[in-house]
Structure formats: structure tokens, C-alpha cells
Amino acid sequence: MDIIELERWSPSKEDPRKLEYAGQPVAQEVFEELKHRLECMGYLPDEYFLLDREWENGREIPRDADIFCTTDYGSSEGVYLDVYLKWYDENQKKSITKSFITGKTLGENGNDLDRMFLISSAITKAFHGDHATHARYMMIGGVEDDTGGAVVHLSQQEQKVIIEALVEQRERQEQAMSQTEQLLRRMTGSITEYVNTVGMRPLRMSDYDKTVLAIQDGELSAFKESYPKALETNADDLLIEAAGRPGAVGRKMTVLLLADTEQFPETAYRAACQKAIDINDPEKVSFLLEQAESHVPELSPSFHGEMASYAYLEHRFIAKEIIKQCNEEQITAAPSCLLEQFAADKDFRTLSALVEKGISGGGSSARTLHMLTYNSHDSWIAEELLEKRMWVDLDDYNALHACVQNDAVDVCKLLLNGGIDFDVYQQWAKNYPCAGHEETLQALAAQCSEIQAEPEQVPAQEIGGQTFG
């Protein structure tokens, strides 16, 4: 498997045989690729493995950065693995070391420490390469269930002896194993669950099985060989698998599948987009959304907005990027809860973009306005948004009521100017007592009287070159 690069290089336009610097990868992308590899190998610490918040929201890996690990007992419990980035800052003229990833295991004995050192070794190899063929370790017993488990590290010769013995046994029992494998496959389900449960690949694999494993292992050449044979019956599942594969290799696999498959059902395409969001890959998400209309027949108008809403929950940076990418038609059809979500953050820039592109407040208008007006310091946001465009339905008296209860007089006036009927609201509000806000209601009544008193504008008439009002 290729190493995880901390710099991007691409073939030169002038000479494709040469590579030229193409920028820095996003830190979250590097993290997701590493986490995926460790998880596939069974190397993830059992408590947690987390990216430091400082590296979120699209921050790139510094140029010429290197990575290293430290492993030690915790001050109170467990064993900790810390991954650091180190680079030279030209502006500050000094070397900088920053925490990048932190992992923890629940166990506290020497075996747990050994295991974490092996994980540290796996991380180092992921970025710097193996430089040699090495024996993988296996865990006998679990950390939580049996703290007396042992870590067995096999030399190359020992590994060879065991493999040869197992192969011989496997050949002798091929028929029986074939029946056993059928039962195991039925019980475990997918090829990945089979491999995870049994610890080895089955004797017989379909082209689909080979493709899924190639995606999991990040083996692009094996993927290219097997996926064309599996497309006819399994294109949907393969797209979802590839979309959830982190890193550049996952993006290449996704591109190949989209290039060779004309159409996907919306359910499968939606699942693929959500997988790309889950692994925090803004580039892949952007590509999938660009291709959505050409690959999904009768795509739901709200699709892009729904993806932005989904991304907001765990990956707000991606949600904002989706909104930037969307056109007015896509935002107009977006779910109104987007306004409510970003109103909770008081994110004026994103709210403003949504309103300018035509989003409707819909059923979320009242909650959105409540969040923006319950604290008078934030009422200006609601005022600015309403001045840009009236996005509240004219019969949404809940929205006006929320502003009355928060005594946001100026916001209420904008709603009245936008067309909400105050007299009808007063009749509606009889079922919803609003004691303690009489001054606000009086101010709105006065505003309503002023609106009604304004003379109706008569269109100017032009006669003989002169204009008469």
C-alpha cells in the first residue's frame, strides 16, 4: 500500500514524466485516511482516536511537515498515543511542533503498552513506508475481556512456517472448508464481515468481493481489474463503498465508477454522498454533487440542500462549502431547517447567503426568528435578513408571535412591512396569551395604523410629453 503523503505532487504539464508540487493536503483528509487504514488492520486504540480541533475546518498540513509518535502510560489510567506534526515556520524563523492526533487504550498493563507501541509503529510506516517486509502482530484475547492477553510478534521465518502449515491444512480440507465457508458467508453476510470475523479471505470470491476488498485495502490496480466485471449487478453498492473510502485513492475509485455508470438510483447516490461527508472529504462531496443531476434521473430539487443539512450535524465546514456551491434553484428548494441550523450558530454570513439565494423559512421561520431575537444583541441579524428579502410566509403568525414574545419591535415591524396582516394576527393571538408585552403590541398597532394611513400610490400618467401624478 502506498504511503500517506504530506504533500501533493502531480505530473508536470510540460513534461508528464516529471512531478511538480501541487499544494498541501487537508489535515482532516490525512487523518481519515490514517484512521481507515488502522481500522482495516485492527490497529485502532479501543478507547478513542481523535483529531485535534486545531486541525479541523479545512486547515492544511504545513509544508515540509514531518510526523512522529510518542507512547506512554497516562497519569491516571490507560495508555496514550500522541501523534505530532513538526515543521519549520519561515515567518517565525523557528521549528514548531503541534499535537495532531491523540489515541487512548483502556488497558494499563505492559501488554497494552506493547500494543500501543505497535500501533505507533504502524502509523510511522503509513507515512514513511515499511522499507522491508515485516510480520504483523496478532492479539490473543481482548484488552477488556482478558487483560492477561499476550502480543505475539512473528519473525519472517516463523510467519513462513505457519503460513505453509495452514496452506497444507487448507488444501487437505478444501471440500469441508468449502461447505464451512458457505455457512460462514451466510452467517456473516458481506465479504468485509467475513474477513473481519474469520481473519482470512474465502477460497472463492466473486468479482464484487474482490472489488470491495480492493476498495477497503486501497489497492487501485486490483480495483481497476475487478470492478468492470461487477458493475452490471453491483454498481450501486460499489459507489457507496468507494465514496466511503478516504484519501486520494478513494476519490479516484469514485471517479472511475461514475465515468463507467450512467445512472444510479437516488437512494444509492444519497448514501454515497453521506459516506463522503462522514469521512470528511470536501473534495469528493463537491464532485459527487456536481455530478448528481447527470447521474440521477429525476433528482429531488431539495437534494443538495438536504446534503448541506446532513453535513451540518458533524461537518459544518462541508455544509458551508455545499451552500457556496449551490445555485439559487437548489437553495430555493432546500429544507428550511438549514436556516434554523445556522441561526443556532448566529452565522450571519451563511444565513445571508441562504436568504440571498432564495431559501424559504417555511416551518422553521418561528424557531429561526426566536433564536435570533431572544437575545437582543443578535436581533440585528434577523433585521438584516428580512431587509434583504422577505423569507417568512405571510400567514406564519407563529413567526411574528415569537418576535413579539422577545420584544423585538424592529423585527416585528419588518414582518408587517413585508405583508403579514396585524389585525389577523391579533385574532389568531387570542388563543395564545402574550401577557407582559403590551408595549410591543402598542408599537405594532401604531405601525399598522401608519401603513393603513399611507395614501395609495397612483401610477403616473404621461400626456403630451408631460408627466402628471
Could you read off the pLDDT of 65-109 as tens digits, one per residue?
999 999 999 887 889 999 999 999 888 889 999 999 999 998 888
pLDDT bucket at 468, cuts 50 / 70 / 90: very low
Q: What percent of the chain has pLDDT over 70?
A: 84
pLDDT in tens, 220-232: 988 999 999 999 8
pLDDT in tens, 35-56: 998 988 888 998 999 999 999 8
Cell 459544518 found at:
316
Q: Count of CB atoms within 10 A of residue 262's CB?
A: 10
How far apart are the C-alpha atoms of 280 and 394, rounded to whole Å? 39
Q: What is the mean pLDDT of residues 441-461?
A: 73
Q: What is the pLDDT of residue 251?
A: 94
DSSP string, 358-421: T---GGGHHHHHHHHHSSGGGHHHHHHHHHH---S-TT-HHHHHHHHHTT-HHHHHHHHHHT--
How far apart are the C-alpha atoms of 148 and 139, rounded to whole Å? 11
Yes or no: say if 282 and 311 are a contact pair by the CB < 8 Å rule.
Answer: no
Cell 509503529 found at:
121
Q: Count of CB atoms within 10 A of residue 334's CB?
A: 28
pLDDT in tens, 11-34: 888 888 888 888 999 999 999 999
Residue 257, C-beta contacts closer than 8 angstroms, at least 6 positions apart: 227, 231, 235, 238, 239, 242
Q: Which of 248, 288, 252, 272 lies closest to 36 in space, CA to CA?
A: 248
Q: What is the pLDDT of residue 432?
A: 83
Q: What percent of the chain has pLDDT over 90?
A: 58
For 234-328, where are the E strands, in sequence order? none
pLDDT in tens, 137-190: 444 444 445 445 555 666 677 788 888 888 877 777 665 656 665 655 555 556
pLDDT bucket at 392, cuts 50 / 70 / 90: very high
How far apart are the C-alpha atoms of 200 and 448, rounded to whole Å? 76
Chain region(s) in the chain for CATH 1.25.40: 208-399
How far apart are the C-alpha atoms of 84 and 68, rounded to whole Å? 5
Yes or no: say if 24 and 61 are a contact pair by the CB < 8 Å rule.
Answer: yes
* Average confidence score pLDDT of the chain: 86
Q: What is the pLDDT of residue 79?
A: 92
Yes or no: say if 64 and 102 are a contact pair by the CB < 8 Å rule.
Answer: no
Residue 409, C-beta contacts closer than 8 angstroms, at least 6 positions apart: 440, 443, 444
89, exposed or middle or buried, with CB in 10 Å at 0-12, 13-18, 19+? exposed
Cell matching residue 154: 512473528
Q: 36: helix, coil or strand?
A: helix
Residue 278, C-beta contacts closer than 8 angstroms, at least 6 positions apart: 244, 314
pTM of this structure: 0.69
Q: What is the mean pLDDT of residues 333-354?
A: 95
Of 1.10.1760, 1.25.40, 1.20.140, 3.40.50, the CATH number of 208-399 is 1.25.40
Strand partners, 87: 96
